[in-house]
Amino acid sequence: MAKRAPRLAAGRARTLGLPTRGTTNPNRLRRVDRWMTGATVVTRTLRAAEDPLVVDLGYGSSPVTTLEMARRLRVVRPDVRVLGLEIDQERVAAAMPTAAPPALEFARGGFELAGRRPVLVRAFNVLRQYAEADAAEAWRTLLGRLAPGGLLVEGTCDEIGRRCCWVTLTEAGPSTLTLACRPADIERPSDLAERLPKSLIHRNVPGERVHALFADLDACWANAAPRSPFGPRARWVETTARLADRGWPVRDAGRGSRLGELTVDWASVAPAS
């Protein structure tokens, strides 16, 4: 029997989802913010939007990362409007003193996005607590609430934001996977596997494409060891170049690799079944 779409109360979206742990830190999401302000797919979408509304979903016990995102996105679109959503009303109340309507607001909401239609949603460290099937359902709900042409950036990171992975999705579904790190803090690229989004974290096993990605990344990292005297970033740049030479669909290789990033097409890492 087909699952029913979630019903919304008249005139107001019913809140969908569960509270997160709420942990956060200043600059924890700086890597995904930096990527969003430099990635063509994001900047083009934000600049073309008639209504530049961006939602930060599940910002946690402190609104600090929402404030940081709003400040950073203004470089791309000075009139951007950011809405921080939390399912926990106490967290919403705690964030209210930092609000500056209409540029920065806070409200109670979950996957239904409080009935709004944003052009961009950042949802970080929100879906790790869900089963894989439930996380996929959350994707579908969020994508169904986007403005036409909108984007969802969903992922996870460690407590201080030095190891991150995220998926970028359009209305058609997943588009890319991005890995981001401080190269000096890893022994090998597969250290990032523990931060894979829920859609992939249980797929890092032989026979799955994401497992093949990390196997090739680690091999390229080992082969790039002669670049180590020039620093970990130089070794990461060489690693991503070698990965592209192996046929992986690496995007934004120049800028991204210098920043400790790697973006590949989703099709190259999508679950095998």
Where do the H-state alpha helices sit in 96-231? Answer: 132-145, 198-201, 209-223
pLDDT of residue 128: 87
Q: What count of other Cβ atoms lies within 10 Å of the Cβ of residue 207?
A: 9
Helix (H/G/I), strand (E/B), else coil: 155: strand
Find, among 138, 238, 226, 135, the residue nearest to 183 by Cα: 238
Q: Are 120 and 148 in contact (CB under 8 A)?
A: no
Can you tell me whether residue 192 is helix, strand or coil?
helix
pLDDT at 70: 98
The residue extents of the domains of the chain are 14-171, 186-268
* pLDDT for the residue 14: 62
For the record, the structure tokens of 160 come out as 């201080």
CA dist., res. 1 & res. 175, Å (int) = 29
Is 68 within 8 Å of 30 (Cβ atoms)?
yes
| pLDDT tens digits, one per residue of 42-73 | 999 999 999 999 999 999 999 999 999 999 99
Where helices occur in 74-208 by DSSP H, the ranges are 89-95, 132-145, 198-201
Q: To the nearest 10°, the Cα dihedral for 205, 209, 210, 216?
A: 100
Q: Does residue 61 contact residue 24 with C-beta atoms inside 8 Å?
A: yes
Residue 77 has a pLDDT of 97
Residues (pLDDT < 50) of the chain are 1-13
- For domain 14-171, give the fold: Rossmann fold (3.40.50)
The predicted structure's pLDDT at residue 26: 81
CA–CA distance, 50 with 81 (Å, rounded to integer): 12
Structural tokens at position 142: 């969020």
- The pLDDT tens digits of the residues spanning 104-128 come to 999 999 999 999 999 999 999 999 8
